[in-house]
Amino acid sequence: MKMHRSQKIVFSIATLLIGAMLAVYFKSTPEQPIRETRDMWEIRMQLQNEQNTQQVLQNELNELKAIQSQYQSASEHVQVEVLNESMERLREKAGLVEITDPGVVINLIPMKFDDEDEAVEPELTPELLNRLINELNAYGAKHIAIENERQTNMTAIRYVGDRIHINQRPLADLPLSVKVASDDPDRLLSYIEVSQSRDEFAMHYIQFKLEKKSNIEIPAFDGTFQLQHIEVIEEDEAGVD
């Protein structure tokens, strides 16, 4: 059926209006946000770590300002003592000093089953250990050691072949102990008992056995720090009075 001229005009106007409406719709429809793939636990832990890092940096800044003030107003003999005390504190923070403090021991043991047919091999991974370390730091841990391996800011927990290595040394099989020194062991223990890590380990058939102790011996880091972009400049002392 042929369209009359007036029908063609109406059809063209209608098509134009529909096209304009579609253009306005697509222009006004907001872009869908990029879906966040991290789970809520990871986001909370990252936020806690950032907040803890900020607080630690602020505390260290305050401590350095106090040391500077004490150093500037002290005699030469006292200045030497202040420097020695500062170096000892830095050595302790870096994990180069053996620590004996109150804290909590987390024993990682394979989960037991009443029915032997249901027994499943536990699966310990570097990701689980790293999550546990991050969570303990968020809960106020001062010093941490996995078995006899002191955890420092430079510690790497990763697979080498089919074994987990910490500080470039192979980790023994389960059961293992994680020693955690804390200023408030009771509070730390309460956090660990309801922690996300405890559930994560249970999903991999590993359970926590917790012990609060008045004295925990945490060994010093005995490896070598690999420092990059640092160069020692030796000055010529010939012109020094």
Q: Tell me, yes or no, whether 32 lies in a domain.
A: no
Q: Tell me, yes or no, whether 40 lies in a domain.
A: no
107 and 212 assigned to the same domain: yes
Q: Tell me, yes or no, whether 186 lies in a domain.
A: yes
Last residue of one domain, picked from the residues 93, 124, 153:
93
128 and 184 assigned to the same domain: yes
Last residue of one domain, picked from the residues 93, 126, 151:
93
Q: 3-state secondary structure string, the chain?
A: CCCCHHHHHHHHHHHHHHHHHHHHHHHHCCCCCCCCCCCHHHHHHHHHHHHHHHHHHHHHHHHHHHHHHHHHCCCHHHHHHHHHHHHHHHHHHCCCCCEEEEEEEEEEEECCCCCHHHCCCCCCCHHHHHHHHHHHHHCCCCEEEECCEECCCCCCEEEECCEEEECCEECCCCCEEEEEECCCHHHHHHHHHCCHHHHHHHHCCEEEEEEEEEEEEECCCCCCCCCCCCCCCCCCHHHCC
Domain that holds residue 134: 101-221
Q: Tell me, yes or no, whether 120 lies in a domain.
A: yes
Whether residue 109 contacts residue 209, with contact meaning beta carbons closer than 8 Å, is answered with yes
183 and 215 assigned to the same domain: yes
106 and 216 assigned to the same domain: yes
Render each residue's pLDDT in the chain as its tens digit; 241 residues: 544 555 455 555 555 555 555 454 444 434 444 455 556 766 776 677 677 667 666 776 677 667 667 666 666 666 667 677 777 777 787 788 899 999 999 999 999 877 666 678 899 999 999 999 999 998 989 999 999 999 998 899 999 999 999 999 999 999 999 999 999 999 999 999 999 999 999 999 999 999 999 999 999 998 766 655 555 555 554 444 4
137 and 89 assigned to the same domain: no
CA distance 147 to 179: 7
Tokens of 18: 């529909």
120 and 217 assigned to the same domain: yes
Q: Model-level pTM greater than 0.75? A: no
CATH classification at residue 163: 3.30.70.1880
Question: Taking the mean position of all CA atoms in its chain, how far away is CA 71?
Answer: 34
142 and 188 assigned to the same domain: yes
205 and 129 assigned to the same domain: yes
113 and 167 assigned to the same domain: yes
60 and 118 assigned to the same domain: no
Q: Tell me, yes or no, whether 23 lies in a domain.
A: no
Q: Tell me, yes or no, whether 84 lies in a domain.
A: yes
Q: Tell me, yes or no, whether 30 lies in a domain.
A: no
63 and 136 assigned to the same domain: no
- Structurally, the chain folds into a number of domains equal to 2
148 and 76 assigned to the same domain: no
Q: Tell me, yes or no, whether 26 lies in a domain.
A: no
